[in-house]
Structure 1
Amino acid sequence: MGGYWESHSGDITSIRFNFQKGNMFASGDVTGMINIFDINQTDEDEALLTTLNCEDSVSKMTWFKKNEKMDFLAITTHSETLQVFEAEEDKDKQQSYTFSRKSVAHSIRRLSQEHVFVIDVIENQDQGFLLLAGSNYEKNKCLRFSVFKSKKLKPYINLPLDVSNRGHVRSCVELPGGLGYVTGSEGGILDLWKPGATAKEESLKFSSKKKAQRSKPY
């Protein structure tokens, strides 16, 4: 289809399509630059709709709605912060919010920010978006959602995680129809979380098996 070659100077770390506008996607890089493109345009200058700068290395991005508009981006960074941008072409109308690692820690009711890490952002039709973060403090590890509401991050859901043999939880997806969430960890474990359940479902562990080497290529 073509490509855009000049818009990023640093390594690209995240790309996310706006699922309500299939022609629009955002790309972020290690320098903090975020470009929003219209892939209906083959010329790069015309395809580049706007450029944002979060001044930090981009980890993940999620589009979400606010006031019925799905032109907002929630961006997590490699320094465990969260930034929110309105993807307006007119920069004078852009809104932005920044949440430090300390703010993220406060939103999941942790006092010590150095143990807190950001995992993922989930677009939520009712609430805008949910932020999943955790704490690896040895005496009290936790996994919790906070919600972006009234321009603030507020405590929302506690996930009663048995952290043994998991390593950090690194990603989260929402099941269709609001049926729950699946989290994945460095230990190769997936956990299924259901609303209203008294306990989480037993996790699934993927064991790595070495394939037997063949002496012949057939």
Structure 2
Amino acid sequence: MRFLAALGATPEMTAVIEEQLASLRIAKRAAPSAEPAYLLDIDVSKPAQSASSRFVAVSCSNKSIRVYNRETLNFLREYSGRPGVLHGVRFAHACDSTVFSACSDGTVKCWDIRSAAQKAVQVFSGYPSNAFISFDINCSDLIICAGTEKVEKDTFLVFWDARGITNCASATQEPLGVYSESHNDDITKICFHPVEPNLVVSGSTDGLVNVFNINKDNEDDALISTCNSDSSVSFIGWSGKDYKQVYCVTHDEGFCWWDTAQLDTEEPITLLHVLDVRDAVCPENDSLHYLVGGFYHEKADKLFLIGGTSTGNIHLVGCGRAGLGLAGTLCGGHAAPVRSFCWSLADESLLTGGEDAQLLLWKPGAVERSLAKKASMKIASSVQKRVRVHNSSLKSRKK
């Protein structure tokens, strides 16, 4: 764990991080579902003022979204995307009872978890050929953006005006418009900036990570930078003070990290590019088999990656310009690969979901009352994501 100090954290902060990661223990397990499924994405409701988050939403491989109580992990509701497949899950920022998911039927659906009704209370409809596989909503709850699979030669970022969603008025909304020139393959991830509502980053199986300012009049002017990961993008995020950095994880376990603040300088924008994190991080007793994603720890000003093993152990990897280093390992929770997570800075807790159909809440110093551990599930490999490796060089585009 001394590696964190080498990455730039102060000794005091390093000690805090080490203690926090070392003390994470399972606090709660959600009760098994009648229909087991891979847990593919997790989000927690945004707390209103000083109140804590009340809900957890999970996107599942059986085309459903499940909602749980945040503290107890008691099951509350389930929504179905059938016949479409639901991709991703996000709560609105200003209303913790409003939850969204993109759908392969060419819509983004909105549910109100205060209601027992199974029907979406609002539907954001795309164009006829659209099949959405990624989406996000901006920090002001004004704009929704969804990314499509490639159909023939077309790949789109589709935008909607989301005003009024916190009232969940029943309606179908048509798009404001699209970006169609910046990617040439499936758009796998979209992530709005945490505090700047006009900034959004997108990632694709074409290897490109694009940063846009959607306040501009057209796509060409909106494109701030294009960075190449040299592979198929599986996860993207923002990091650094004022969130001026972007990073991505690839389907073949690579990692790229860029500083957009350097776009108008002579300094290189690439902070770190690791072709295979499995080779760069070698836990002493347990190898790293895959990456899930990352999170930025605001208090420590530190970026972490989350990965794991086929048997369910979770590795937390510290990132710095000097390289990567193992920051901690969480054992005894999952029995199969972890597919999703959600980090909470407020209480330093971690939610994880996996191929064993388990939803776990980890908290510092927690003591789990029941230590029952489910066996690994066997589900058809069709849910596995495609991997496409692209061997093109890193580039940047300055506005």
Q: If the TM-score is normalised by the length of the shorter chain, which range does it land in?
A: 0.7 to 0.9
Displacement after TM superposition at 1:69 (Å): 3.8
What's the offset of the Cα at 1:35? 1.1
Partner of 1:194: 363
Cα distance 1:23–1:78, how it changes in 2: closer, same or farther (>3 A)?
Answer: same
- Distance verdict in 2 for CA 1:91–1:16, change over 3 Å: farther
How far residue 135 of structure 1 moved from its aligned partner, in angstroms, is 1.9
- Cα pair distance change 1:54/1:200, threshold 3 Å: farther
Aligned to 1:172: 341
- Which residue of structure 2 aligns with residue 133 of structure 1? 307
Of 110, 117, 123, 2:296 maps to: 123
The alignment's TM-score, normalised by the length of structure 1, stands at 0.78
2:334–2:354 CA contact under 8 A, matched in 1: no
2:313 to 125, 133, 142: 142
Given the alignment of the two structures, is residue 9 of structure 1 paired with residue 184 of structure 2, yes or no?
yes
Asked if 2 retains the 8 angstrom alpha-carbon contact of 1:104 and 1:153, the reply is no
Separation (CA, whole Å) in 1 of partners of 2:251 and 2:369: 29
For residues 190 and 24 of structure 1, do their structure 2 counterparts lie closer, same or farther at Cα, with a shift above 3 Å needed?
A: same
Contact kept in structure 1, 2:213 and 2:222, CA below 8 Å: yes
Deviation at 1:173?
0.6
Shift in CA distance, 96/111, structure 1 to aligned 2, threshold 3 Å: farther
Aligned length: 196
Secondary structure at 1:45's aligned position in 2?
Answer: helix
5+ residue gaps in structure 1?
206-218
Question: Is 1:28 equivalent to 2:203 in the alignment?
Answer: yes
Sequence identity percentage = 26
Q: How far apart are 1:159 and its partner, in Å?
A: 0.7
CA distance in 1, matches of 2:338, 2:290: 9
For normalisation by structure 2, the TM-score amounts to: 0.45
1:83 is aligned to 256
Change (3 A) 1:182 1:41: same
Aligned equivalents of 1:191 and 1:171: distance in 2?
11
Structure 1 position 188, deviation (Å): 2.2
Inter-partner Cα distance in structure 2 for 1:148 and 1:100? 14
Matched with 2:246 is: 73
Q: Kindly state the Cα deviation for residue 199 of structure 1 after the two structures are TM-superposed.
A: 5.3
Do the aligned partners of 1:120 and 1:132 also contact (CA within 8 Å) in 2? yes
Instruction: Provide the aligned C-alpha RMSD in A.
Output: 2.7
What is the SS of the residue equivalent to 2:346? helix
